Amino acid sequence: MISNKIDKQINTDEKKICCSKCKSENVIKWTKRKTQNRGLIQRYKCNSCNKTFTIDDGFFRMRNESKKVTCALDLFYRGVSTRKVQEHFKAFYPHNADHSSILRWIRK
C-alpha cells in the first residue's frame, strides 16, 4: 500500500512533454542528437503532427558548455568582473570565452 502511494507521487511529479509546434502530449522519444559542446540531446517526435523537436533547457544555440555558462553567471553575481571571469576560465577551460561573450550570457 505504501509503495503504491510512492509510485503515484513519482508519476505525478514527472513533467509532461508537449510538442513545441502543436502543444500535443502525444509524444515519443525519437533519437538523440550529438552536439559538439553539449553532448547528446534527446529528440522527441510528435505523433499528432509528425514533427521532431528537443526540449529547450535555456542553453539553446549556446556554443559553450552549460557548466561553463552557469559558472560565469555565478562568479559575476558574486561580484567578479567579466574580465576577471575570463582570466579565471584561462586556467580551467581550453577554449576560452571573451569578456564580451560573458556579458552577452548575463544579458541573455
Say if residue 3's pLDDT is above 90: no
Is 33 a domain residue?
Answer: yes
At which residue does the C-alpha cell 505525478 appear?
Answer: 12
Contacts of 33 (CB under 8 A, 6+ apart): 40, 41, 42, 43, 54
Say if residue 37's pLDDT is above 90: no
Q: pLDDT averaged over the chain?
A: 85
Q: Show the domain range for 73.
A: 58-108
pLDDT at 14: 55
Contact 89, 97 (CB under 8 A): yes
Is 74 a domain residue?
Answer: yes
Which helix (DSSP H) or strand (DSSP E) does residue 60 occupy? none
Per-residue pLDDT averaged across 96-102, rounded? 91
Per-residue pLDDT averaged across 82-107, rounded? 92
pLDDT at 13: 44
Is 103 a domain residue?
Answer: yes
